[in-house]
Structure 1
């Protein structure tokens, strides 16, 4: 999934210098405005645009959710837990190269463009820098990938699988999801994602007929991503009238320097949130990886939907509000905080309840051990929602990048320590417990730091205002 002085944003500067951490004290500014005042912050036009984005994302994400689930009972009964573990291990391995290619460009670019999306010169410059930067990093990551896959025996054993998975990294270079996000045109992104899922679903039923065909699962996903990414790239250039120009060396180096904090934050966040399957595959068995993957599959789908709504549809609105003033940005976050938290609690409770039914229906008796995994990780939608609201939308929008990085780094240490203690003894259950514990630690740390800086997001007064405001806005929207 930032940079500005406390009072205003310099929309042409994507510097990640932390200007606010030493002097920020928000609560002293009487930051609990009445409902009437909030109506000017989330106007009807803004809420309509947000509602349209979320509605299109939701409807298309339902299809994205259902299509892969259609293939699960078919695929897992053919390939079994071990090969399912290999597929997910390969994806976790390639995810590190995806992280390198993204670098931190996506979030910083959304923040820069969304704050002043009518500035064509800014959009052209950022677009050119990001595309060239990602292309250079793809070359570097390909060299590293080739060396590891060839010289490390445990990777060379399944090198064709890893190559099939890595092909999809080309799509990371060309899919400008960050541009769609900044321009608040996320319905198109959801449509492209749905097309990918349809293509993958069709190829799975065609090509996977025996256990040895499992490799085609990742290959079909990679090829679909590449094709759709190129289409999305071309459409974005024409739709947003982007003019590409090769950036100067000094300009490109500045982009790398400015976005470096976000890159290292992504690295440490990936260590505690995205390395569970990879570490389990290295220090345990493919069976444990398969069981863990099955238990976390539906939670991953729920998390993806939350990410679409909060980090893609909502983040540009927050960035634009903070671009106007710190007060407006915080009021937007406070308005949405309690409804989002309640929704996440309901999702987590639902996942806990349906765990036995879901595993039995979609995976069968061989995956019975995945039920306990699913019930443990059913808490993750709550932590993801709170992480987004407190960390991404609040801390990063207030330019608390360094503090965000420090908390994420400590979370990585906590995750690695817990995994070292729990993997060999408890396997998939240990990794699931480690993941949830680390996420809770990170969310609590975000909250404590914000309180320390005088930023209060959670108060009973804000709850009353949020309820009243939401009722008024929903009534207006439905009436119109």
Structure 2
């Protein structure tokens, strides 16, 4: 049977992955307003500072394995014997890197005196490293089993939600909060290890074929280093230079930004195994899927940016309370990073990695990391935590610019202008409506403010999409309403038109 017949609908996968992401985000959205008031900004800052330290060691343990395993495994998933051999090799390499990461971690926390105050938190947080390794989520992604991933995540998050309200009651419970956070993100991984027998017999092996895997793994590892650095550099620098309270405020803004970014990215994150298959077997299908994904990102990231910016104050108040109002201007700045962060993720995961251009991905993200660290180091001592937000903007722009250049040959084949025009028109009308509402209306209750303005702005944007007859929005609406989407013949015809346009452009250049 053809691979395409064995695999589930990509739209179904996107919806399931979005559901998993949204449910994973609902957990902190429900608990964070509670724990931020109970624990206070200082204790929240301690937990997030410890988390940022552990993330560097988790980074080494990961070694770029997830993206590499999904890309290469998707190409051989119809051959169970080859896939089993490959999965065992990758799993063994991951066990080795995790062991090395743990050794380095314990040496570091013993040797660095300033980390002793966070010892309990660090020990708890480091459990994530081992749980992530045995979870083998990459194996489920290879077979696009997002239904299982979604169900197990939702169940564990539900249990964690109950534990949070049962055990966290006072400021000194921040260590318990950290433990529940680890349980929420890692408990399902134990379940995942035993359930992996559905696809293959997973066990360590002495035949790792290390020489074959090491080069692409190290290249993707370099990419992951850069991503982790420019994702966590702000927290690390703010914590080291300004203190726990400032980290707590900065964390609120970054948490909202991260939630929105992950929800948008979840719509397209499921595409890597399918694109890895199409790039070698069906180039027309590859181009058509890219076009659909990029248009979806365009019509999603523009309104998301504007909504987060215009509703930043009620969002902060609802999530954290008046003690965290200082995070409002920070959120207003990082909201605009969504305009680049979500296309960045798509360019790397949908074009560069499937086409085995991981060295270009590493170049782009390393550039972003250098820009972010340099600006944080220079600006935070003089301008405070707000400069860390501007550093995020600069880093994402740097990654965007480099990624766009490296993927230009494929981007030229896409038709994005109509979606971009429709999104910008809808965004402009939202900004105009926000100015009018600020002039004529004031809401004292942040819940009412968020609900009323959010619904009005969403209605404006949906109306623009309907009036302009945006094809990507229509496609998503048809899927949501379970109406019949475009036929295979229509999809093939669109791919032909795109390729024909590309040939004409090349001929004109000659």
Change (3 A) 1:244 1:164: closer
Instruction: Give the aligned length.
Output: 433
Q: In 1, distance between residues paired with 2:416 and 2:264?
A: 24
Q: How does 1:337-376 map to 2 (within 5 A)?
A: 337-376=294-333
> Match for 2:34 among 74, 84, 94?
74
> Does structure 1 retain, via aligned residues, the 8 Å contact 2:233–2:376?
no
Shift of 1:300: 1.3
Change (3 A) 1:306 1:458: same
Bigger relative contact order, structure 1 or 2 (CA pairs below 8 A, ≥6 apart): 1
> Does structure 2 retain, via aligned residues, the 8 Å contact 1:56–1:187?
yes
Change (3 A) 1:292 1:472: closer
Aligned residue number for residue 5 of structure 1: none
**1:456 and 2:416 aligned:** no
Q: Matched residue of 1:479: which SS? A: coil
Aligned residue number for residue 22 of structure 1: none
Change (3 A) 1:410 1:479: closer
Shift of 1:140: 0.9
Q: In 1, distance between residues paired with 2:293 and 2:13?
A: 16
Gaps of 5+ in 1: 1-40
Aligned residue number for residue 378 of structure 1: 335
Q: In 2, distance between residues paired with 1:217 and 1:460?
A: 44
TM-score by length of 2: 0.79
**1:443 and 2:428 aligned:** no
> Match for 1:294 among 231, 235, 252?
252
> Match for 2:263 among 289, 305, 309?
305
> Does structure 2 retain, via aligned residues, the 8 Å contact 1:71–1:201?
yes
> Does structure 1 retain, via aligned residues, the 8 Å contact 2:299–2:419?
no
Structure 1 residues 265-318: Cα deviation after superposition (integer angstroms, max 9, x where no partner): 11122222332212221222111110000112122111222332222x222222
> Does structure 1 retain, via aligned residues, the 8 Å contact 2:340–2:400?
yes
Change (3 A) 1:367 1:457: farther
Q: In 1, distance between residues paired with 2:362 and 2:10?
A: 29
TM-score by length of 1: 0.83
Shift of 1:96: 1.0
CA RMSD of the aligned region, Å? 2.6
> Does structure 1 retain, via aligned residues, the 8 Å contact 2:364–2:398?
no
> Does structure 2 retain, via aligned residues, the 8 Å contact 1:359–1:370?
yes
Q: In 2, distance between residues paired with 1:460 and 1:230?
A: 42
Q: How does 1:126-145 map to 2 (within 5 A)?
A: 126-145=86-105
**1:233 and 2:193 aligned:** yes
Change (3 A) 1:409 1:64: closer
Q: In 2, distance between residues paired with 1:463 and 1:377?
A: 23
Aligned residue number for residue 208 of structure 1: 168
Shift of 1:359: 1.0
Gaps of 5+ in 2: 421-468, 486-510
**1:479 and 2:490 aligned:** no
> Does structure 1 retain, via aligned residues, the 8 Å contact 2:233–2:373?
no
Shift of 1:133: 1.3
**1:101 and 2:106 aligned:** no
Structure 1 residues 318-371: Cα deviation after superposition (integer angstroms, max 9, x where no partner): 222113144432332123212221111111111112210011122111111100
